[in-house]
Amino acid sequence: MRPSLNNATTRPSSSTVPPYLPFCHHSDLLSPKTSCFIPLFPSTKYPTLQNPKSPSYPHQDPSISPAFGSLVKASMASSEPSAGAATETKPFSVLFVCLGNICRSPAAEGVFRDIVKKKGLDSKFNIDSAGTINYHEGNLSDPRMRAASKRRGIEITSISRPIRPSDFRDFDLILAMDKQNREDILKAFNRWKFRETLPADAHKKVRLMCSYCKKHDETEVPDPYYGGPQGFEKVLDLLEDACESLLDNILAENSDIRGS
């Protein structure tokens, strides 16, 4: 997550930042010149999975050995997909992304999950969130965001994690909270696509969260990290607006989700 900075805004002094807020949660992390920059693009190797060697069978005519023929038929039958599996609809996958994955994106995940559940469609969706940096990996979301969401009846239980290459394969939509987040996501994709097997058009999955807003004119979800309680309420207002429209848009473009 990144605080909105302009000429009239200065970074707050350490005395104004609550003691549990790490100093490194700042947009300066995105600059490679900063000493506490945490790179998002580690070299990742995946172990090759090897199947155990198939057992050898005696070379003989199945018509001469009925038992062997039955074994072959059973094996062929087990490898054929059932009719139910062929018609099963894959859940629509949505990933919400911000800077540290402890304020905006986990709130977006919680809001969207709540809306989907109330419409009885939770089994049709796979919903998750991530960050463009790994500084907060393994942490719960910001307690102020959890408290603000809980007052609206929304529980945030996600654990922070950084975005990873497989996200570009596994998710149908990747929603960035602001333009810098979107830029960092696309940079990650452009680096990873040369060493990972990723869909060539995966960059088209990345969209701005506020592009779905109907009641608000903002183009970005502001980072509330260094602000007061009103900042968290504003974020939730924007997310509730955008998530309602997002679901309507997904259902309109994927009629099989509602009908399956």
For 88, 158, 188, the CA distances from 129, given in Å and listed in that order, are: 25, 8, 16
Could you report the per-residue pLDDT of 241-251, keeping only the tens digit for each? 999 999 999 99
Could you report the per-residue pLDDT of 57-94, keeping only the tens digit for each? 344 444 444 444 443 344 444 444 444 444 567 999 99
Q: Is 98 a catalytic residue?
A: yes
Query: Among the options 2, 104, 113, 144, which is catalytic?
Result: 104
Task: Tell me which CATH homologous superfamily contains domain 92-259.
Answer: Response regulator (3.40.50.2300)
Query: Among the options 114, 142, 223, 241, which is catalytic?
Result: 223
Q: Is 223 a catalytic residue?
A: yes
Query: What are the residue ranges spanned by the domains of the chain?
Result: 92-259
Coil, helix or strand at residue 83:
helix
Worst-scoring range by mean pLDDT, 71-75, 143-147, 152-156? 71-75
